[in-house]
Amino acid sequence: MANGVFHTKYGIEINLTHEDLGYPGRPDLLDEITRPVGKRPRDLLQCLKDRRGGQCGCALADKSPWMFVRRQRRGGQVTLVAAHLPITHVATPQESDKHKAMKERIARTASRHGLHVQVEARSPDNRIITDVLVTGPAGRVGWEAQYSPISTSSVHRRSARARANGISPLWITGDPASTLIDRAPWARVDDVPWQRIVSPLAMIVRGGVRHLQIWKCTQASERPCPESGQACGRFHSGWFLPTLCVPEERSTALDELVVTSADGEHLPLRISDRNGSRRISHLWALADDVRRWHEINGEQDPLADAPAAAEEALTFTEEELDANCRYGAEGTFVSDPRPRRETTSATGLQTFEHLDIDRRTPSRPVQLRLTDNERRVIADQLHCPPWEIGPCMLCATPIHRYGPRSPLVCQACRSH
């Protein structure tokens, strides 16, 4: 990746390793060169070697010498680099199959439960194309199956457009490091082949759905004090994954979330980080938990005014301008692995001196919602009679529950 580009409009060479880009008199230059290509002239930025009359590898390959600027993580730091256009991600066959399979599963589940479904739904102004639009008693939920990389700005932009059209966005992914996590309402499932996605077997939501926990911090508490590690006698509240709840909550299945998000049993919530920073966490939660959270904090609609999550700060290394063209060799450097955005720790921890509210969190019973035909199909796959199919005690996945020496939990829960 190059550390400099030529600005064809101003006729200047830009050094991306300097905070002022080499031109302190142009404070808006960074915003201008990092705009999406669709919102600026395609030939705004040019390869320095091509501009200086050298042999640009991209031009020699019968491609354009025009460039774009993006962020790159390297050595734990985020820097600006320039790369040749067009650089777009084309979904692999595996990603495309998973994307289509997920859309099919969501649409099939919603339709089976009597909800109105539109696949590849377009808004009246044709600015929004939703993978699967599910309409229920609580409103419209726009499911976006994302199995290929996507930029943070795209997630923010598409989610904002959905809300402006009265659609509650819900992004689904199988990647725990996906950039969409905590950028918009989301859910994560296991990354499995497309054949598993379209099968009637349950898919458990591993991240994005949490439960409210409220407890008094005493010596007898099953949780340590999040402030000091020792009993403080105050009240704490926070959002936890089902397996970290006390008592442990049942995990939510993907098919269940398709229905409950449309009928209002699960609601999206956006909360600030406990440290008072601008970092925002998105989650789906039971409507009763959301109502209690609003009562505790005195908030009515935190989704409306919460700021967007801040991007990581840029690092400027103050290097010399390098005019060499690295087209064809740009793929030899592998960026640092993306940090795992999804965390298992509690979200939105808060502390109160007094709390006049019921602290008990009702557990949801483990239920298995299957039609007779689905029960027969699953029984055939598990090689057992249909009447021996039952729910996993932790996640409600259909398993061979009632046969001789049958387990009480599924293999996935045992491994976790």
Q: Which two tokens stand for residue 152?
A: 């943070």
How far is 118 from 127, CA to CA, in rounded Å?
16
Q: Which two tokens stand for residue 233?
A: 């006698």
Of the candidates 100, 89, 91, which has an alpha carbon nearest to the alpha carbon of residue 193?
Answer: 100
Query: Which sequence spans correspond to the domains of the chain?
Result: 4-88, 93-311+341-352, 372-415
Q: Which two tokens stand for residue 118?
A: 């539109």
- Omega cis (within 30) before 224: no
* Residue 335 backbone zone (phi > 0: left; psi -120 to 50: alpha; other: beta): beta
Q: Which amino acid is at 364?
A: R
User: Over its length of 416 residues, how does the chain's per-residue pLDDT go in tens digits?
Assistant: 678 889 999 999 999 888 889 898 888 898 888 887 767 888 898 888 888 877 777 766 656 788 888 887 777 788 888 887 754 455 667 768 999 999 999 999 999 999 999 998 887 776 678 999 999 999 999 999 998 877 777 888 889 889 988 999 999 999 988 888 988 999 999 999 999 999 988 899 999 999 999 888 888 788 888 888 788 888 888 899 998 888 888 899 999 999 999 999 999 998 876 555 556 789 999 999 999 888 887 765 544 444 444 456 788 888 888 877 766 654 444 444 556 667 777 788 888 887 765 544 445 555 677 888 888 999 999 899 998 898 887 777 888 988 777 888 888 777 76
* Model pTM score: 0.64
Residue 377 vs residues 110, 132, 199, 385: alpha-carbon distances, Å: 19, 25, 9, 10
CB 67 within 8 A of CB 33: no
With both helix axes pointing from N to C terminus, report the angle between 93-112 and 254-263 in degrees, rounded to the nearest 10: 50
The pLDDT of residue 278 is 56
Q: Is 330 helix (H, G, I), strand (E, B) or coil?
A: helix
* Res 341: pLDDT: 66
